[in-house]
Structure 1
Amino acid sequence: MSNLCVAAFAVLRQIEPIIILEELGSTFFDTALLMVVRDRCANASYRGRSREDSQQKAITDFYMTYNLIIRLAPILPSLLLARLSDRGWRRTPIVVPLSGYLLSRLALLLVVICSLPLELMFGAAVLFGLCGGYSTFWSGVMTLVSLRSTAADRSKVMMRVELLYGLAGLVGSLVSGHLFQLYSSSLGRGTILLSVSTLLHLICLIFAILLLQVKQISCEEPEENCHLLSSTPRNSPVVEVATGINKTNLALLFAAAFLYDFAVGGAIEILGSFVLKAPLSWTAAQVGYGNAAGCFIFLTSFLGVIVFRRCVSDETLILIGMVSFASGIYCMAFVKTTFMFYWARSFNLFALIPMPTIRSLLSQQVPASSCGMTLTLLQLTLKLAGLAYIPAFTKIYQNTLDWFPGLVFILSSFVTVLGMIPISIVGCRTARRQRYERI
């Protein structure tokens, strides 16, 4: 029994329990927010638009403003927290954002219970952003994962973390729609779901403050010369300490990440509203099942990494994931039934491979002392992508509602194909340098 207690305590000191609980709470929150926004926008009216189109415009306008705030507010806090992380305060980029998560969940709970204006969530988004937001939290998580893994295993370890994140989202999505429908008539719909979400984030924060352990793999070289890539493992770019960082490869990887996030983020930004309108007209439970289908992709992407990394390079892995997403989201443009939705989603089996693999390649090309800042800069680059795709995709969707609402998904597919170009260049450059090394 004592051995079991010691083992359980050791598990609780890892980052994985925090990731699982945070994603469960966030999944509950996302479903609740979407359904609350739909209910509040049910009576929206715009001149020259039908009732359904008016509701869609009101929903997308809310999410456009809300998501822009979430991406703008954390920019300076993210840099500050990343600097603290690289100076040894590795838990700070995790603890501070979790405080913001907790406060934003409490805000939506108050909106539902006290019937407060929905616009209060804009203030909650500002507070959430000033605490660092998702970008700081996830870069902090990936920094801890990078420091405790070897370069040869890093892409697999990062994908395993993504798998846990996705499985937690899968469970949360399956349950969230049903929990939303459980409510007290005196408090309003979603109170139970939001209460559970708030409790989960409170537990996360306690774990991060009191239990989280920071580990770092030992390295025989001095830190200033100790790169996260200490050798030249198979399928990894060759980085020579003497010659410094390959800035061209870094720029290409950042460009690929920007384009891919632009495509994926733009499509997912609209997908939530798309399934609420005719002909799909999903309920809260169906929204949960749809989110679960998206989270299931974490599992298939992880299996894809395990299988494909034995015979292909990291750059090829990224291309496989991009092709998977591009084909699936293209089919989504023509979805008319729920069955067709899941059929289109089935093409996205490996769509989550690119981003963790790009993070792995980036972390292998910088010193350990710069890993936190590099991954944070990547997250800020993705925020810039969000500042571009949120208004662009929202306005395109609103203006094509009458004749072809799926046009945004075709645009997303096209941008994904563009993102394959810089990754292909990185692959060619890496293969050439590896041939030189062998010679």
Structure 2
Amino acid sequence: MKRLYFIEPIVAIYAFASFMLYPLIQQYVYRRLWLEITNSSYPVSNDTSRCAANSSNHTSQQEEVQKAASLFSMFSELSSLIPSLIVTLLLVAYSDQRGRRITIIMPLVGSLIYTLSFLAVSFFELNLYLLIAASFVSALFGGISTMLGGCFAYVADLCVDDKQKTIRMAVVDMMIGLLAGVASISTGYFLHATGFNWPFFTSAIFQVVNLLYAIFLLEETRVIDSSETVACCQALKKLACGIYYLFSGGSSRKKWVLVLLIVTFSSLSFVNTGGLSMITLYELNKPLCWSEILVGYGSAASTSIFITSFLGLYLFSLCLPNTVIVLIGMLSILISMLMTAFAKTTLMMFLVRIPAMFAIMPFPILRSMMSKVVSEFEQGALFACVAFMENLSSNVSATVFNKIYADTVAWCPGFVFLLCTGLCIIPISLLGILRFFHPLDSNDTQALLSEDGTEASDDPPVA
């Protein structure tokens, strides 16, 4: 059977299945905790808001449920943190020796296990805290950062032109937003009509299809000698050496630029993920009290920024340098977080998505800039480090912001978004340092590679 070099279908199906699941998870946990804490059924309304059904005497109970749901999310993130970090680093870097497909297939298996766990807990009404154990088990296969790290390394293998690489990475991000938006809208109505079981089951079916495509149809980009056998300890040694050489080899300028790019990427991911992880709980709380349908529309509006960011990146790249485009994206995140902190009406909550329309632009550009700094033999090691740092920043930020939200929800629910606004100064400052001392354009990145002599070498570094 002829295999394909298209990674986009995997990203698209994964985005659809995952973003059908993500809004459901927080709402399912929220409703189960509501039932346990208040000992009453969850108020369901066909109106745009549940606030009319949620009278003032329930305010203290609602704050308690908000706090419990936030802490549950924190424990879930903590349970998956360590295994997902280790697996991400090992798998994506190991792909330099044994191919990219393993970094894509393994997280798909873990995601399927996680979805089936939610389906089982929902269908059989099992103990809610079994989901924390499911989060740990699924993390042993890697997570979304692992899969995306493998996908971006896969794209880097296929693209030789710098602009083509940037655009195709942006297309991958756009596919996430396009399918995630469709999934988010449909999930609200799906949940309202059928409850939680059918959406969980549907998500699992899509993930099975995706896994079959990755196993049987996706072609490998790295040519692997099937007769070559690598001992486990030898493979790990090569892995460690590849990552070590990434930061120890080459000129000091290259190392300094690479570290600065990774730290900028990680700090921005920390702020963006931390803020976004609290959106659903914020929408379920007073004074918004959104219904499941409005939560779906809100999620779709949030994911539409992947499309607007792609269009913005394509147009801005025609006339602006990369660092300026990244700065526009960072300011987009800052302004939207500031507006969210003061959003008290449904209209205002939807309007905060407008300044966020370019919020995704920095990520594909920073990935592309990092990819240009290293040689073709270091792509797996690079994206392993990037995926590791992205995974670390995402999990830590979700944990930290859930704890902060639990402590501040009673007196200032929007405090976490004000904190995000202040923390945006860090990646903006790092970008300013990079722009002032080392403005990176195509000639500069080629110069960095020439300084290392990596382009002159036909073989990767061998330990």
Q: Do the structures match in fold with TM over 0.5?
A: yes
Q: Which amino acid aligns with 2:268?
A: Y
- The answer on 1:350 being equivalent to 2:361 is no
Aligned mate of 2:32, from 28, 40, 52: 40
Give TM-score, length-normalised by structure 1.
Answer: 0.86
- The answer on 1:107 being equivalent to 2:113 is no
Alignment of 1:142-157 (within 5 A): 142-149=152-159, 150-157=161-168
CA spacing shift, 1:287–1:357, aligned 2, 3 Å: same
Alignment of 1:265-304 (within 5 A): 265-304=273-312
- The answer on 1:425 being equivalent to 2:433 is yes
Aligned-partner Cα distance in 1 for 2:115–2:213: 18
- The answer on 1:165 being equivalent to 2:171 is no
8 A Cα contact 2:316 2:325, kept in partner? yes
8 A Cα contact 2:91 2:384, kept in partner? no
Please give the per-residue CA displacement for 1:186-235, whole angstroms capped at 9, x wherever unaligned.
Answer: xxx21111111000000000000000023479xxxxxxxxxxxxxxxxxx
CA spacing shift, 1:103–1:392, aligned 2, 3 Å: closer
CA RMSD in angstroms, aligned pairs only: 2.4
Q: Which moved more, 1:107-116 or 1:242-251?
A: 242-251
- The answer on 1:138 being equivalent to 2:139 is no
8 A Cα contact 1:245 1:365, kept in partner? no
Q: Which residue of 2 aligns with 1:208?
A: 214
Alignment of 1:172-211 (within 5 A): 172-183=183-194, 189-211=195-217
Alignment of 1:8-407 (within 5 A): 14-45=6-37, 50-149=60-159, 150-183=161-194, 189-215=195-221, 243=251, 246-407=254-415
Q: Which amino acid aligns with 1:181?
A: H
Q: Structure 1 residue 141: deviation in Å? A: 0.6
Aligned-partner Cα distance in 2 for 1:98–1:117: 25
Aligned-partner Cα distance in 1 for 2:105–2:437: 39
Q: Structure 1 residue 407: deviation in Å? A: 1.4
8 A Cα contact 1:270 1:394, kept in partner? yes
Aligned-partner Cα distance in 2 for 1:388–1:125: 15
Q: Structure 1 residue 389: deviation in Å? A: 2.4
Please give the per-residue CA displacement for 1:168-200, whole angstroms capped at 9, x wherever unaligned.
Answer: 0011011011111233xxxxx211111110000
Aligned-partner Cα distance in 2 for 1:242–1:418: 27
Give TM-score, length-normalised by structure 2.
Answer: 0.82
Secondary structure of the 1:100 match is: helix
8 A Cα contact 1:148 1:216, kept in partner? no
Aligned-partner Cα distance in 1 for 2:30–2:328: 36
Aligned-partner Cα distance in 2 for 1:153–1:200: 29
Secondary structure of the 2:342 match is: coil
User: Unaligned 5+ residue runs, structure 1?
Assistant: 1-5, 184-188, 218-240
CA spacing shift, 1:432–1:262, aligned 2, 3 Å: closer
8 A Cα contact 1:266 1:393, kept in partner? yes
User: Unaligned 5+ residue runs, structure 2?
Assistant: 39-58, 224-248, 448-463
